[in-house]
Structure 1
Amino acid sequence: MPSSLPPYPTRPRRAPGAPASGAAAPGAAALALALGVAAAVPAWAGPSDAFHVYGGLGYFYDDNLFRLEDQSPGYDNQRSDSARQSVAGVIVDKTYSRQRIQLQGKLSKVAYSHFRQLDYDGKDFQGTWKWQLGNHLEGSLGATYAQSLAPYTDFQSRERNLRVQRRQFVDGAWRMHPSWRVRGAASRDKYTYELLVQRYNDRTQDAVEAGFDYLPRSGSSAGLVARRLTGKYLNKRVIAGLVRDDDYEQDELKARVVWRATPILTVQGLAGYAKRKNAQAGPHDVGGFNGRVTADYSPRQKLRLNGALWREFAAIDNFYYTFSLNRGASVGASWDALAKVRFDSSLSVEQRSYEGRLLPNSPGDLSDTLRTATFGATWVPAQTVQFSTSFIHQERSGAQFLGNGSFKANTVSVNANAQF
């Protein structure tokens, strides 16, 4: 059921296998959780408003900023830090006949209290053209650019490490019959890192897919999609004097289902078989079940529940392992307690099994587990003003071989945003 609070703007769907930008990223990039969500600013303007400007201020405190293991005293005997963030942006959303143009630009400035070398200017630009030709052809074309602080999950350092993510995408669908639709899509994701010692993670990932859907009158859909992902690393690693080729191909054949079981329950899934092949011997080729299933349940108009299960391959920022197999689950709830007050909470657990090992003497069963709990409250006293606060607790059972120790961390943030 729709929320009585204003919705947040949506982003183009990421390519499967690419890092999830909205995931709970440990380390200094927890700003993306604590400040970034509110700083994105909801598109408060009504359907007739094509252009609006917004701004915001935020404060963030983390008691284990770099996600150091519990026994570590920290850098300069300092484990915690706070930061201030200011944000300004514009949103354009205009429909011309059947063509819809959506543009968003956001600039942010983040300043830390102790680790001032981490201060940075964030950038986030998005543009999408949702096109439609006649009654049977539709799709989208767009691009995104984001610059932010990279997570310190798998890399221990006090130095600033900005990461730039670029994405271009195009997709289209043809309604060849009232009950059948065929579609295709292509995208490119590119990741580049500021720190010289992290340049081995610079990479591109191209995705091409084709599929079809059956569309019954109930509003549900079921189909099949075939996808190929091609990953290329821009800078080769040198391990034990040997140059490594970490490029890969991943082929997928998955079922895509949207099941509107009842007016208050919707289940979505994209799951099937995936095989990841590496360009060079070392990491073993892996294959098996791969996918994600989500469910949304609204037992009351003001209460919304959700859950997810996933088993996916993902790239990681580590020198000796190139990717992991992630298994996870999450549950969440959103409650409109009052007309202008909303509470949100979530719990998630994810286990990463390191699959792409580059050293023959590396453990073959290396894994870690991250648990995250969040709670937030949002107050909208007026249509153009919003205040929010959030609390995040994280725990990880680490992988000592990689220097990723076990840790606990708590994050608190407060934000204020306004539209002009």
Structure 2
Amino acid sequence: MVKKILKSYDYSLILAVILICGFGLVMVYSSSMITAVARYEVEADYFFQRQKLALIGGSIAFIFMMIFPYRAFLNSKILKLIVIGSIGMLLSLFFIGKVAGNAQSWISLGGMNIQPGEFVKLSVIIYLAAVYDKKQSYINEFGRGVIPPLVFTGVICVFVIIQPDFGTAFIIGMITICMILCSGTNLKSILKLVATVVAFGILMLPLIIMNGLFSDEQISRFVGVADPFKYADGDAYQLVNSFYAIGSGGLTGLGLGQSVQKYGYLPESHTDFIMSVIAEELGIFGVLFVLLLLTFIVLKGFSIARHCQDPFGTLLAVGISSMIAIQAMINLGGLTGLIPITGVPLPFISYGGSSILLLLISMGLLVNVSMFTNYRDTYQQTTTQEVKTTSVVKSINQKRNTSMR
């Protein structure tokens, strides 16, 4: 039994996770050593050591989630705990939250900064996957099958927006859309949902404008993207320096550790703009290495979803893969000037304990879904075939014995 389970794990996916996390750790050290000393006045390896600890903790969680049966999350008590815990974490930010980057998104515990919004992403994925799995028999009934689960997602997004953290809220919204599209809902229900969302957005627009929901800094990000070099000394300072970093890297880069932009020109060099440093130090080859690994992980996730015959497992795989793909596109779009900068980290690469812990827990869950799918396809089908063969042999023997008599 244990041998069969071990054979069923997708080791190519596990290897991809190991490679991208290891590469990310190296780049966190390279991109943060100057910032650590000059800006934060700590040791050069300060961020490297903290990321390493987060990776160790995340690796333990990854292994646990690989072993823990994913269908246990269908238990109603566990789901209630996820819902209450998620809302509780976000509510606690208004009382004990720490402001960083103009958003009250952090909780400081024992010298560690935890970002609840990161873990809430996975909570939403598990909740929606479980609820839509249970609603498969009436999934096309708009008022009964589609709408009710979205109340939880809506409450979560409102709490996240109030912080304000529009990047995380947008990611949660996009993950929800991806999961609804893959839940078995028909086109009629999807169109009704689109109409409802548009109508709600139109009703909320005057309120947003009147209350000035977007801060001056957030508005400046749109201005910077519109004409970055015109505002190179102000609103588009980071974006323009990101362009310089990417442009100076060329094909092979300046060499590992040789970035110029990380010397104070690119303030978030180890978080939001770490890919700019990779492009500068390792060139196109370094960028392609990261993009290929991310693409492999995302496509592998959707492949797992496609082959999984369990709706819950399918939706989990879709949600996790969508989360990684959406985060990567938002991060890369921001540092290349395609969209406004949102503060979304690059999955597996950017510095951030909460982010790497969430991603490794999610990947452990994805590997778990893959293992159960492979196990069922390989061994249960083999067992069924053996039973059929045995039945046929018995039938032939019975006929033979009857004819001999």
Greater relative contact order: 1 or 2 (C-alpha under 8 angstroms, separation 6 or more)? 2
Structure number having the greater helix percentage: 2
Larger Rg: 2
Q: Do both share a fold (TM > 0.5)?
A: no
TM-score by length of 1: 0.27
TM-score by length of 2: 0.28
